[in-house]
Structure 1
Amino acid sequence: MDLLQLRYFQTVARFEHISRAAEELRIAQPSLSRTLARLEAELGTPLFDRQGRRIRLNPYGAMFLRHVDRALSELDDGCRALRDARDSGLGRVSVASETLLTVTHLLGSFRADHPDADVRLYQSDAAEMSRQLRAGEVDFCVASQPLTGTNLESVELAREEVLLAVPPGHWLDGRESVTIPEIADEPFVTTRPGQWQRTLLDQLFTAEGLTPRLSCEGDEPGASQDMISAGLGIGLIPAMSRQAGMETRVPVAWLHLDAPGCHRVLTLVRNRDAYLSEAALKFREFTTDRPFMTHRLPHRRPLHSHDPAQGVS
């Protein structure tokens, strides 16, 4: 079944006359008749009752026409929206991220530079982002862990250390670093399975043959630091959050984790087969041609206790 068959069926259903429909479509009548016959064969049921040279929609045809009308109407609306966006602005760019704090500054800067772009932002976990890319619901995902799926391509935006945050006055407050076995019995504030903090936490503990003890599992990583500061547990926080200058300041103590792989890699992921609007093309260029706001630690730097920063990115 193809789009041309549906267009032909819709026209014949409107006229209920092959010759008139063929004239309207500017094709030969035999060609139109063959196209309808192939459509009915593919559907496995006749759509018209034949009465000599006249044809009438039967109940199956009437049922199918309702769906065809809606589908073609949506397609026509999409074409018009695309033309309007092309002629009056840059069009739309849709971005998904595991946490909104990671991309807030990026999208704000992009919108300031391109006010004609229609920017849409979604918060999704890794599985949902993969589905959104496959379904064409988003143009890009800013991911903190690998996304699965065919035809997905990614560009690394940043690589940063992930730190351990503990409440002020905690027995680790004042330490420079700590190992996973040393904190095996500590309660952790983290996210639900599927979010990058939880995935990293599980990986670090599994490498030591341990299982983390959880005190809180949430959906918004940005709330983790508030809960840690309140004494509900300890948790993994990316260096980006600590280094960014913030209005809201939440006191915690910071430590390095002596564990291989304790870092986060941010990537920009897209479906290579998907259409990109002008806004999406400009967003990709804007994102990949500038340093992403992150803090890289090639060597260990002293960490000061109670260094305030915003919530998790």
Structure 2
Amino acid sequence: MDLLQLRYFQTVARYEHISRAAEELRVAQPSLSRTIARLEAELGSPLFDRQGRRIRLNPYGAIFLRHVDRALSELDDGRRALRDARDTGLGRVSVASETLLTITHLLGSFRAAHPRADVRLFQSTAKEMDRRLRAREVDFCVASQPLTGSGLTAVELAREEVLLAVPRGHWLDGREKVTVPEIADEPFVTTRQGHWQRALLDRLFAAEGLTPRLSCEGDEPGASQDMISAGLGIGLIPAMSRRVGTDVSVPVAWVHMDAPGCHRVLSLVSNRDAYLSEAALKFQEFCTSRPFMTHRLPDPRRGRARRDS
């Protein structure tokens, strides 16, 4: 049994698909299949159930995968520790977030305070963030949804209201608040399933026994406000987006949602057992030692008055 076999097994177990795993590993499918077969022969047990071209990790494979994940994670941590020991800077900190707008200012402030830190940023869905943390591809996730798996730890950074954004001239332009049943027939601009905006929208409507009508589903939450201003629908936008002053270039009207739980909680999530470079430790301290954002919520009527002036 060698390290290459374990890497190959881990990738095949993640995809449960030989061709996709071979594509990521950049090896030929027959070669990958032979490597997995040799590993199973050495272990004396099949690790996958095979049905034609389909493979599924079986109970023996699941047991073995837990140990392989831990072993390879330790080796990866050792490699990072050695690299950081040679590095004349602070080392690297890798961060994942569902939307880049959420942490742009934070990362800019951190880089200004620690210019020697090597900062890497990834945009990911909640599912992908969970995988990246477990694979130790990132040190932290700034998550808008709970990542509650074993071994993960979360610190709440901020809690903010989520507002309803509507195009200028919409019948809700000027309203202070609105209920979910009142907008049940409105077309919504939102994100695909897996993003927090979609999860919140589905939850608010499900609480009323309703299903939202969608006009647009995308992968970039930051683009929603542009599409709303263009008249493609209405949508849920965090209060932070209203505060950054984008209403001059992307004019929308803001309305409070009269619905319980219409807010977003931002958390800094990390893998409890993962190695953290000096840069990562400083980033953790930087995030948790100061307010993440201003908690004062906008007044939609004030924003409308500014646009009309």
How far off its partner does 1:306 sit?
A: 4.4
The answer as to 2:113 corresponding to 1:113 is yes
Asked if 2 retains the 8 angstrom alpha-carbon contact of 1:188 and 1:213, the reply is yes
SS at match of 1:255: strand
The answer as to 2:161 corresponding to 1:161 is yes
Residue 222 of structure 1 is matched in structure 2 by: 222
d(CA) in 2 for partners of 1:76, 1:171? 56
Residue 85 of structure 2 is matched in structure 1 by: 86
- Within 5 Å, give how 1:13-92 maps onto structure 2: 79=79, 82-87=81-86, 88-92=88-92
TM-score by length of 2: 0.72
Residue 122 of structure 2 is matched in structure 1 by: 122
Tell me how large the CA RMSD over aligned residues is: 2.9
Structure 2 stretches of 5 or more lacking a match?
Answer: 4-40, 45-71
Residue 197 of structure 2 is matched in structure 1 by: 197
Residue 281 of structure 1 is matched in structure 2 by: 281
How far off its partner does 1:246 sit?
A: 4.8
What's the % identity of the aligned pairs?
Answer: 78
How far off its partner does 1:84 sit?
A: 4.4
d(CA) in 1 for partners of 2:265, 2:153? 15
How far off its partner does 1:244 sit?
A: 1.7
Residue type of the alignment partner of 1:164: L
Structure 1 stretches of 5 or more lacking a match?
Answer: 4-40, 45-71
The answer as to 2:243 corresponding to 1:240 is no
Residue 51 of structure 1 is matched in structure 2 by: none
Asked if 2 retains the 8 angstrom alpha-carbon contact of 1:239 and 1:295, the reply is no
Residue type of the alignment partner of 1:249: S
| CA 1:248–1:104: 2 relative to 1, 3 Å | farther
| CA 1:82–1:230: 2 relative to 1, 3 Å | same
**For residues 153-208 of structure 1, what are the alpha-carbon distances to aligned partners after superposition, in whole Å with 9 as ceiling and x for unaligned?**
00000000000000000011111110000000000000000100000000000000
**For residues 89-124 of structure 1, what are the alpha-carbon distances to aligned partners after superposition, in whole Å with 9 as ceiling and x for unaligned?**
111100000000101110111111111111000000
d(CA) in 2 for partners of 1:216, 1:231? 11
Residue type of the alignment partner of 1:214: L
How far off its partner does 1:293 sit?
A: 2.0
Residue 69 of structure 1 is matched in structure 2 by: none
d(CA) in 2 for partners of 1:197, 1:85? 37
Larger radius of gyration: 1
| CA 1:190–1:302: 2 relative to 1, 3 Å | closer
Residue type of the alignment partner of 1:241: S
Residue type of the alignment partner of 1:119: V
SS at match of 2:154: strand
Asked if 1 retains the 8 angstrom alpha-carbon contact of 2:174 and 2:304, the reply is no
Number of aligned residue pairs: give it. Answer: 243
Residue type of the alignment partner of 1:86: A
How far off its partner does 1:77 sit?
A: 11
Asked if 1 retains the 8 angstrom alpha-carbon contact of 2:189 and 2:217, the reply is yes
d(CA) in 1 for partners of 2:305, 2:2? 61
Residue type of the alignment partner of 1:192: R
SS at match of 2:197: helix
The answer as to 2:269 corresponding to 1:269 is yes
Residue 8 of structure 2 is matched in structure 1 by: none
d(CA) in 1 for partners of 2:272, 2:76? 24
d(CA) in 2 for partners of 1:279, 1:247? 35
SS at match of 2:198: helix
SS at match of 1:303: helix
TM-score by length of 1: 0.71
d(CA) in 2 for partners of 1:105, 1:136? 24
